[in-house]
Amino acid sequence: MAFPFTIQAQAGPARLGRMQTAHGEVETPAFMPCGTAGTVKAVPQDILEELGAQLILGNTYHLYLRPGHELIRGLGGLHKFMSWERAIITDSGGFQVFSLSELRKVTEEGVHFRSHLDGTSHLFSPERSTEIQIALGGDIIMAFDECTEHPAERCRARESMEMTLRWARRSRDCFENHKHEVPWFGDADRQAGQTQALFGIVQGGMYADLRRESAERMVETGFSGYAIGGLSVGEPREQRMEMIAAVLEVLPQDRPRYVMGVGYPDEIAQYAAMGVDMMDCVLPTRAARHGLLFTSEGRLNIKNIRFAQDQGPLDSKCGCKVCSRYSRAYLRHLFVSREPLAGVLNTIHNLWFYLDTMRSVRHAIKLGDFSGTLAGKVSLG
Amino acid sequence: MAFPFTIQAQAGPARLGRMQTAHGEVETPAFMPCGTAGTVKAVPQDILEELGAQLILGNTYHLYLRPGHELIRGLGGLHKFMSWERAIITDSGGFQVFSLSELRKVTEEGVHFRSHLDGTSHLFSPERSTEIQIALGGDIIMAFDECTEHPAERCRARESMEMTLRWARRSRDCFENHKHEVPWFGDADRQAGQTQALFGIVQGGMYADLRRESAERMVETGFSGYAIGGLSVGEPREQRMEMIAAVLEVLPQDRPRYVMGVGYPDEIAQYAAMGVDMMDCVLPTRAARHGLLFTSEGRLNIKNIRFAQDQGPLDSKCGCKVCSRYSRAYLRHLFVSREPLAGVLNTIHNLWFYLDTMRSVRHAIKLGDFSGTLAGKVSLG
């Protein structure tokens, strides 16, 4: 069954779309908050709903290690486990293995690694990653890939890209054989027979021709959507945009395009303007916990002494529940006192800012006036 | 102006009452969540409102050290600073100086101490404590007292109790001279001319006759309400009850009675049954952050492996938003993964349990059937 994705309006290359998942509709372009270990750090699920999050990301690596995918499968899947009835996407585990694990060893079979939690040995392969992601039961799951390190020589980038392609085919084959095993398959309240959607991941380092080739061959393999991985690994933003632009030329118009692990608020608006439909990033949540807040007037570090007696809201143009109620002085006090409420409130504000940026982007596409409407907003975040 | 407190029903010695503060009504018996440094740890203010908290406690010692009472006064007082429009009570700082500070030196003038944050030297005296509490602007403030250590010889307990009495008079005199300086005095939306209410604190160690004498002489001095301090310092519960009973005999019926720093859910219900109107304790909030949860079936430690796959709510009889949505398995996962959401959700549940215990107590007093209605509930917490 094709993964339902419809484009409802366009403004230049930017697209206003709608994905129909087994757990509700998702309007695109969408920013997806990071729900790492089954929780968007510090934010209760009802507040995520209030913020308007329609699709959140869970990390296969983290959930596999703790509490374990078999436990989550046994409890009915990740939606039930974390009590989140809206859509979920899981990553393949490839990026976390690349960034977090110790003693990583990559072979054709997959990646042998040691857990960053307790040093135990594990293998992620295309089959294993797919099996785990089916057990978790995200609405969208990702083919297992190798996140090419940066910088990488051309021959290394090609080699890695070729392996990601072979792994992608193995992921797809495994998925086709096991997709009916998803915990919620056949739930009365799901669309009859709806399975998960599997997305392929384009790699190719910082070589536009390799990126294009990777995209073309991923499309030949056939997926419900296409992601661009291996970015935000230290490259300058211009290079990232160049890679994204190269890939977008090749990807089919009627399938969702997802840029993984980006970015700043102006950046995500920019990618949406280029025709990207989905993005995720730890930045709003992680920065919040470190006191870095995004506002319509730019970034601010809430621990700064100049906010000590500032009675104004974080962002006078923001409609979030934090800006409606609390002052900068109070938020600064919570942060410097290391109060747990600091992380809660800062995260709520930053997520609102990101999700609201995407709401504005969608509105602008609808009006066909992308650059005009957003010029003020996207240049400052 | 007398502090408006009316008793609306009685069941034996238990009283159903209502206090009218400048920031709303407070139904008694009341449990007051601890809002230590201007925040009930990990819980946003709108959720505290949803939980039904009508009166929360702020700690003078913490707020004086950080962010400082002058800063809070400058921002309009603690209510405005933390965006809490309901009632606030502040303690005198005496207990925290006793339990947290270093190099404490007590003289007739007051207590010289070093900050636990940075080692700087400070003095709390009756005048200083009162001045700080007026600057903070709590609706109810406390006379400065010495929390007698436990155990204490009779002569030491008497000496300490006598000094607390002299300090109480100095607190009262200072309050009478400065009470109009409270930041919200004269606010258009406050009752015309309403000031803070000053409560005296009964001491006397574990000697019932000293406790009674302390209470009698506090009443002669004249306060809007009376607290029983110097408890929960290591004494057995029977002794604590004996001290409370001795003091309650002496205190006037028409003034609120407040037992400071207690206790377990069954304990606070028991004290309410004896005629206590107000209680505060860090237990529900602190225990929550350590994974200790109170339920209708007793306490549970959420990190226990037996909850790993438990799909049931924390407490099947609980109506809180945590029990309505999340499973024990999920709460255990959050806690063992050290997720910040663990502290948020656990605290919400424990506070609901305490506040709901008090709602049941009030309902039972109204029905005149205290022991019957509550027998099940109060024996288990």
Shortest CA gap A60–chain B (Å):
15
**A84 or B374, higher pLDDT:** A84
Query: Which pLDDT score, from 0 to 100, does residue A371 have?
Result: 65
Query: Which pLDDT score, from 0 to 100, does residue B282 have?
Result: 97
Neighboring chain B residues of A306 at a CB cutoff of 8 Å: none
Of the pLDDT bands very low, low, confident and very high (cuts 50, 70, 90), residue A83 is very high
Answer whether A344 sits within 8 Å of B345, measured CB to CB: no
Query: Which pLDDT score, from 0 to 100, does residue A177 have?
Result: 98
In the sheet that holds A197-202, the strands lie side by side as A30-33, A278-281, A257-259, A225-228, A197-202, A140-142, A87-90, A55-58
Of the pLDDT bands very low, low, confident and very high (cuts 50, 70, 90), residue A98 is confident
Neighboring chain A residues of B45 at a CB cutoff of 8 Å: 325
Q: Which residues contact A314 (CB under 8 A, 6 or more apart)?
A: A293, A295, A300, A302, A322, A323, A326, A328, A331, A349
Q: Which residues contact A330 (CB under 8 A, 6 or more apart)?
A: B38, B81, B82, B83
Kindly tell me if the per-residue pLDDT of B380 is higher than 60.
Answer: no
CA angle B97, B98, B99 (to 5 degrees): 95
* A–B interface: beta-carbon pairs under 8 A: 102
pLDDT digit string (tens) for A272-283? Answer: 999 999 999 999
Proportion of chain B above pLDDT 70, given as a percent: 96
A-interface mutation test, from B341, B345, B348, B351, most A Cβ less than 10 A away: B341
- Which residues of B are known catalytic residues? 91, 280
Mean pLDDT, all residues of chain B: 94
Nearest CB to B326; choose among A83, A327, A333? A83
The two tokens of residue A311 are: 């009675």
Query: Which pLDDT score, from 0 to 100, does residue A274 have?
Result: 96
Kindly tell me if the per-residue pLDDT of B326 is higher than 70.
Answer: yes
Closest Cα to residue A290, out of A249, A234, A345, A346? A346
Answer whether A341 sits within 8 Å of B42, measured CB to CB: yes
pLDDT digit string (tens) for B227-265? Answer: 999 999 999 999 999 999 999 999 999 999 999 999 999
Q: Which residues contact A80 (CB under 8 A, 6 or more apart)?
A: A183
Q: Which residue of A has its CA nearest to B327?
A: A81
Of the pLDDT bands very low, low, confident and very high (cuts 50, 70, 90), residue A190 is confident
Answer whether A344 sits within 8 Å of B44, measured CB to CB: yes
Kindly tell me if the per-residue pLDDT of A188 is higher than 50.
Answer: yes
Determine which one of A139, A145, A266, A280 is catalytic.
A280
What number is the average pLDDT over the span A190-195? 79
What number is the average pLDDT over the span A138-164? 97
Query: Which pLDDT score, from 0 to 100, does residue A343 have?
Result: 98
What number is the average pLDDT over the span A56-83? 98
Proportion of chain A above pLDDT 70, given as a percent: 96
What number is the average pLDDT over the span A132-138? 98
Neighboring chain A residues of B37 at a CB cutoff of 8 Å: 333, 337, 339
Complex-level ipTM: 0.96
What number is the average pLDDT over the span B29-50? 98
pLDDT digit string (tens) for B124-142? Answer: 999 999 999 999 999 999 9
Query: Which pLDDT score, from 0 to 100, does residue B162 have?
Result: 98
- Assign residue A18 a region (left: φ > 0; alpha: ψ between -120 and 50; beta: otherwise): beta
Query: Which pLDDT score, from 0 to 100, does residue A380 have?
Result: 36
Residue A193: CB atoms within 10 Å:
10
What number is the average pLDDT over the span B166-190? 93
B-interface mutation test, from A34, A322, A331, A344, most B Cβ less than 10 A away: A344
Neighboring chain A residues of B83 at a CB cutoff of 8 Å: 325-327, 330
Answer whether A71 sits within 8 Å of B309, measured CB to CB: yes
What number is the average pLDDT over the span A106-122? 94
- Of A41-55, A182-196, A216-230, A239-253, the range with the lowest mean pLDDT is A182-196
Answer whether B330 sits within 8 Å of A82, measured CB to CB: yes
Q: Indicate yes or no: pTM above 0.95.
A: yes
A-interface mutation test, from B333, B336, B338, most A Cβ less than 10 A away: B333
Query: Which pLDDT score, from 0 to 100, does residue B372 have?
Result: 60
Helix A265-274 crosses helix A340-367 at what angle (to 10 degrees)?
30
Answer whether B81 sits within 8 Å of A321, measured CB to CB: no
Residue B189: CB atoms within 10 Å:
8
3-state secondary structure of A14: strand
Shortest CA gap B87–chain A (Å):
17
pLDDT digit string (tens) for B73-123? Answer: 999 999 999 999 999 999 999 888 888 877 789 999 999 999 999 999 999
Query: Which pLDDT score, from 0 to 100, does residue B379 have?
Result: 44
Kindly tell me if the per-residue pLDDT of A329 is higher than 60.
Answer: yes
Answer whether A42 sits within 8 Å of B340, measured CB to CB: yes
3-state secondary structure of A290: coil
What number is the average pLDDT over the span B165-177? 98
Answer whether A340 sits within 8 Å of B341, measured CB to CB: no
Chain A residues within 8 angstroms (CB to CB) of chain B: 37-39, 41-46, 66-67, 71, 74-75, 81-83, 289, 308-309, 311, 321, 325-327, 329-330, 333-334, 336-337, 339-341, 343-345
Of the pLDDT bands very low, low, confident and very high (cuts 50, 70, 90), residue A374 is low
**A157 or A188, higher pLDDT:** A157
**3-class secondary structure for chain B?**
CCCCEEEEEEECCEEEEEEEECCEEEEECEEECECCCCCCCCCCHHHHHHHCCCEEEECHHHHHHCCCHHHHHHCCCHHHHHCCCCEEEECCCHHHHHHCCEEEEECCCCEEEECCCCCCEEEECHHHHHHHHHHHCCCEEECCCCCCCCCCCHHHHHHHHHHHHHHHHHHHHHHHHHHHHCCCCCCCCCCCCCCCEEEEEECCCCCHHHHHHHHHHHHHHCCCEEEECCCCCCCCHHHHHHHHHHHHHHCCCCCCEEECCCCCHHHHHHHHHHCCCEEECCHHHHHHHCCEEEECCEEEECCCHHHCCCCCCCCCCCCCHHHHHCCHHHHHHHHHCCCHHHHHHHHHHHHHHHHHHHHHHHHHHHHCCHHHHHHHHHCCC
